[in-house]
């Protein structure tokens, strides 16, 4: 009996060892990164990540796929929060992180003006748009200075992001009146438009070229009721149907009217998108479209659109650019109608004491209880003092004619100035297909005047 049992025990032992080895070779012992997925496929919830090294998740459940054995990952995923993405967008380098940067995990929304292209740079933060759905109204393509809302993910330090959605539309279109060159302002359909050093001009070199009665299209950031800080102005646009954006005041539910600046809006026959007629309230920022210019300050609306929505869920990362209103203290003011607390913010661009109504700022932070708790605040313009402007293009040169006439990302560039600095090359290296980063501080007649051109591999 013992002679029979010993071979049987030996055989069972060998089979057990072989089975363990087979399981380990198939990844049953973990993927080496998460310890919780098989063959690099895993799931994450409540902000934890598995799936090799390639899936990041925050503020919701998401799933990711990866190879596990090699550590490569696609980084694709889905979330529960609507505005979702992962660090990768198909351009992985083995880390599961695409060109948006390492650790791009927080669900985010950014609202402001595009101060660069490649993919899109909003409020100084570059978002990769390789996998983004892009919707543009009132223009044919993304352009420097247009207002936009970007949804996706950013890293915790607001240094890089990956966009899942980019939405842009103009704020104002109509005839100019009450031009005040010393004050840097004019009026369109009852809204006072102000300009600053960062305002991009297309079809003109500045306010001095604007003629009363001419039609302009304006992208901008709503400030106090009846005001708009222009980020881009198109003189003589192709489109001419009237359009106005602002903060709702004096709603009259019986007459179906409200005020935008000096304009009375009749919304009785208007379609509503992005908000319901029942949710319309004083203080709401809306974009109103019509077919006929106002008469006697009465504008008949054909469509009332909710302006770019600011998310309010706790933990959402939010970037805003705008003009301060309702300033009470560093810990209590509003930007684009959103309550802001910058008590503990890192503040750059000017003295802390300069914060107040009318100051243009960029704020980065996280929502908490309906308040944007700011991590970084950049002062961009102080009334009477001014502020810096900077625009960036990243991409390949196209339509090259000369150093004074070429394009990057479709944006005309002039790099012929005597003060233009070239890095990693000279003006002689400018040519179609050459990849460059172009930085300038002004756009005149639609052309970016380059201060620095850096040649990149």
Looking only at the bridges linking them, the beta strands covering 271-273 and 303-306 are parallel
- What per-residue confidence (pLDDT) applies to 386? 83
Q: Please compute, for residue 301, the number of CA atoms within 13 A of its CA located in the half-sphere on the CB side.
A: 26
Looking only at the bridges linking them, the beta strands covering 411-414 and 405-408 are antiparallel
Q: Token pair for residue 188?
A: 């369109």
Rounded Cα gap, residues 283 and 338, in angstroms: 10
Per-residue DSSP letter, 424: S
Question: Alpha-carbon Rg of the chain, whole angstroms?
Answer: 27
Phi, psi of 363 (to 5 degrees): -125, 135
User: Of all helices (H) and strands (E), which one includes residue 414?
Assistant: strand 411-414
pLDDT string in tens for the chain (457-residue length) = 444 444 455 445 555 544 444 444 444 433 333 333 333 323 333 333 332 233 233 333 333 333 333 333 223 333 333 332 222 222 222 222 233 334 567 799 999 999 999 889 999 999 999 999 999 999 999 999 999 999 999 998 998 999 999 999 999 999 999 999 999 999 999 999 999 999 999 999 999 999 999 999 999 999 999 999 999 999 999 999 999 999 999 999 999 999 999 999 999 999 999 999 988 999 999 999 999 999 999 999 999 999 999 999 999 999 999 999 999 999 999 999 999 999 999 999 999 999 999 999 999 999 999 999 999 999 999 998 888 899 999 999 999 999 999 999 999 999 999 999 999 999 999 999 999 999 999 998 899 999 999 999 8
Query: Helices then strands (H, E): number in the chain?
Result: 1, 34
State the DSSP string of 196-254. -TT-EEESSSSGGG--TT-EEEEEEEE-STTEEEEEEEEES-S--S-EEEEE-EEEETT
| Of 151, 150, 167, 307, residue with least CA distance to 228 | 307
State the DSSP string of 199-212. -EEESSSSGGG--T
Q: Token pair for residue 277?
A: 């007629």
Q: What sign results for the dihedral spanned by CA atoms 285, 275, 126, 413?
A: negative
Q: Token pair for residue 356?
A: 């107040």
Q: Answer yes or no: are the C-beta atoms of 98 and 128 closer than 8 Å.
A: yes
């Amino acid at each position: 009996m013992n002679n029979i049992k010993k071979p049987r025990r030996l055989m069972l032992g060998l089979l057990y060892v072989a089975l363990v080895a087979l399981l380990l070779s198939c990844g049953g012992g973990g993927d080496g990164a998460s310890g919780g997925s098989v063959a690099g496929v895993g799931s994450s919830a409540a902000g934890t990540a598995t799936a090799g090294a390639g899936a990041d998740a925050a503020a919701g459940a998401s799933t990711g796929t990866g190879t596990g054995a090699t550590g490569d990952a696609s980084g694709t995923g889905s979330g529960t929060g609507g505005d979702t993405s992962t660090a990768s967008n198909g351009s992985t380098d083995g880390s599961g992180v695409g060109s948006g940067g390492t650790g791009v995990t927080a669900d985010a929304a950014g609202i402001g003006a595009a101060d660069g292209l490649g993919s899109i740079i909003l409020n100084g933060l570059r978002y990769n748009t390789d996998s983004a759905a892009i919707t543009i109204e009132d223009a044919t393509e993304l352009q420097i200075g247009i207002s936009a809302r970007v949804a996706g993910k950013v890293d915790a330090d607001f240094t890089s992001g990956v966009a899942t959605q980019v939405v842009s539309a103009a704020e104002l279109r109509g005839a100019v009146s009450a031009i005040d060159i010393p004050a840097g302002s004019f009026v369109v359909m009852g809204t006072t438009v102000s300009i600053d050093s960062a305002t991009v001009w297309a079809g003109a070199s500045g306010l001095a070229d604007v003629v009363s009665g001419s039609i302009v299209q304006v992208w901008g950031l709503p400030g106090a009721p009846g005001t708009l800080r222009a980020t881009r102005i198109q003189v003589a646009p192709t489109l001419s149907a009237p359009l106005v954006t602002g903060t709702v005041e004096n709603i009259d539910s019986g007459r179906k009217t409200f005020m935008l600046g000096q304009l009375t809006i009749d919304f009785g026959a208007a379609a509503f998108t992005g908000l319901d007629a029942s949710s319309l309230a004083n203080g709401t920022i809306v974009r109103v479209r019509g077919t006929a210019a106002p008469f006697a300050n009465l504008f008949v609306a054909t469509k009332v659109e909710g302006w770019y929505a600011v998310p309010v869920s706790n933990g959402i990362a939010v970037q805003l650019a705008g003009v301060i209103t309702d300033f009470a203290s560093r810990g209590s003011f509003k930007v684009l109608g959103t309550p802001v607390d910058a008590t503990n913010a890192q503040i750059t661009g000017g003295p802390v004491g300069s914060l107040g109504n009318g100051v243009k700022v960029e704020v980065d932070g996280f929502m908490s209880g309906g308040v944007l708790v700011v991590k970084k605040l950049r002062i961009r313009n102080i009334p009477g003092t001014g502020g810096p402007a900077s625009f960036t293009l990243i991409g390949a040169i196209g339509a090259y004619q000369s150093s004074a006439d070429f394009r990057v990302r479709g944006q005309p560039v002039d790099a012929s100035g005597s003060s233009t600095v070239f890095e990693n090359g000279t003006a002689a290296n400018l040519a179609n297909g050459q990849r460059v980063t172009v930085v300038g501080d002004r756009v005149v007649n639609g052309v970016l005047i380059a201060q620095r051109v850096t040649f990149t591999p």
